[in-house]
Amino acid sequence: MLRRVLISAAAAASLLVLGVPPAAHAADGIRTPSKPSYTVTLSSNTSGTTWTGHESVTFTNASADPLTEVYLRLWDNAHGSCPSTPITVTNVTGGTPSALSAGCTAMKITLPAALAQNQSASVGFDLSIVVPSGADRFGRDGSYNFVGNALPVLAVRDASGWHLDPYTNNGESFYALISDYDVTLDHPTSLLVPATGTSVDTPGASGRTVTRATAKNVREFAWGAGPFTKTTSTTTTGVTVNVYRVSSISSSSASSMMTTAKNALVAHAGRFGAFPYAEVDVVLDNNFWFGGMEYPGFVLDVISSTALAHELAHQWWYGIVGDDEYTSPWLDESFADYATDLYNGLSGTNCWNSVSWQSSAEKITNSMAYWDAHPSRYSTVVYGYGKCALHDLRRAIGTTAMENLLRNYAAAHWYGVSTTADFKAAAQAATSADLSSFWTTHRIDG
Ligand SMILES: [Zn+2]
């Protein structure tokens, strides 16, 4: 992790004029740049494998610390061999770009003038995306393209400084503040384009369709493009669910997954708070090397109701209630798996009896840096032990207290970012029992 860069001498001088010592601001820790608003216009080739166009983002410095630069995360450059990369950013406006860093997944853009607190600015750039081969969250499976994490997004600066953590293929290292997206995708009419947000199609040039997807209060934007078969239904709570399937998946499998999607969305909303978006796209392909992958309003999944319930639980745990997925992956994965157990009517009876730590360093709350060094233990500990710890917490404080805890904790961090310390404080506030030994026993540190 890189530490915060020093503020410029000029900015420090202006702070001294105001009578505020710079050192006080260095510890402010407010997450910034905040309220990013992305506008993207992309056009694809005939197969939907390359996308070119323009992206701009407007943001505000929420921190009392001046903002002298921003960083774009070009996450999918981890899929290339740096410096040969699938995501290309050129013609940057609104700042001066530096050479790519963090394995080509970060681009520093120095702003022309430091932004004071509550000041806003924009940067823009031309963008090219080339989807690589492979049934992946960023990849092409035959004629089907999956375009996750491809749009450059703003890195976060907080009490730890700039977050320029590496990409991980074992899970996620994405950490983004709540944002708005307005994305226009010009593509062949023969390709359907499931996407984050609510989409409206209009005719484009001959043989082409323009899909405009808008999404408010989401952390990322993902889409797909291919000759999918699409079915649509609506939950009892009024959320539109679109299921897109590749040609090798049967209509009966898709229908079964549609039922799971609707039921899981309603069940999770009942437990964690009403689903705040109008539409969810579920994209099915049994060739993915993973069970599923979550994006706001857009999930990739194999035919597995458990995987789908898990990815849809991420709409709350990571999506609505954000977390730093690199530092605290358990805050979304353990919670998504716990939600999936509840959806499946499982209570984790005696699950802690099977816990067997591999070392004294192994903890549920370890970061992806640890799990990338111990990949064989990631799923066992973060998903398995993590959800069991939450079952045990419910047994420790009582079912009603646990239900209220999760609902109130979600409400307290709705569209925000939570930390392990935030969750522990919320849990402790939900019970008169002292949870200190519970956290120690369950290796929940922070
Ligand atoms: Zn997950």
Q: What is the pLDDT along the chain (446 residues), one digit of tens a residue?
A: 112 233 333 333 333 333 333 333 445 889 999 999 999 999 999 999 999 999 999 999 999 999 999 999 999 999 999 999 999 999 999 999 999 999 999 999 999 999 999 999 999 999 999 999 999 999 999 999 999 999 999 999 999 999 999 999 999 999 999 999 999 999 999 999 999 999 999 999 999 999 999 999 999 999 999 999 999 999 999 999 999 999 999 999 999 999 999 999 999 999 999 999 999 999 999 999 999 999 999 999 999 999 999 999 999 999 999 999 999 999 999 999 999 999 999 999 999 999 999 999 999 999 999 999 999 999 999 999 999 999 999 999 999 999 999 999 999 999 999 999 999 999 999 999 999 999 999 999 99
3 Cα–ligand 1 center, Å: 28
C-alpha 230 to ligand 1 mean position (Å) = 24
At 253-285, the pLDDT tens digits run: 999 999 999 999 999 999 999 999 999 999 999
The answer to whether residues 298 and 281 touch, using CB atoms and an 8 Å cutoff, is: yes
Distance of CA 312 from the midpoint of ligand 1 (Å)? 9
pTM exceeds 0.85:
yes
Which of 410, 380, 227, 251 minimizes the C-alpha distance to 318?
410
| 151 CA from centroid of ligand 1 (Å) | 21
| Rounded distance between C-alpha atoms, residue 215 and residue 295, angstroms | 12
Residues that place a CB less than 5 A from ion ligand 1: 333, 336
What spacing in Å lies between the alpha carbon of 332 and ligand 1's midpoint? 7
CB 313 within 8 A of CB 271: no
CA distance 4 to 334: 30
Give distance in angstroms: CA of 320 to centre of ligand 1: 14
Give the Cβ contact number of residue 293 at 10 Å: 22
Q: How far is the CA of 141 from the centre of ligand 1 (A)?
A: 22
Distance from C-alpha of 70 to C-alpha of 163, rounded to nearest angstrom:
11
- Ligand 1 centre distance from Cα of residue 358 (Å): 22
pLDDT tens track for 114-136: 999 999 999 999 999 999 999 99
Q: What spacing in Å lies between the alpha carbon of 154 and ligand 1's midpoint?
A: 22
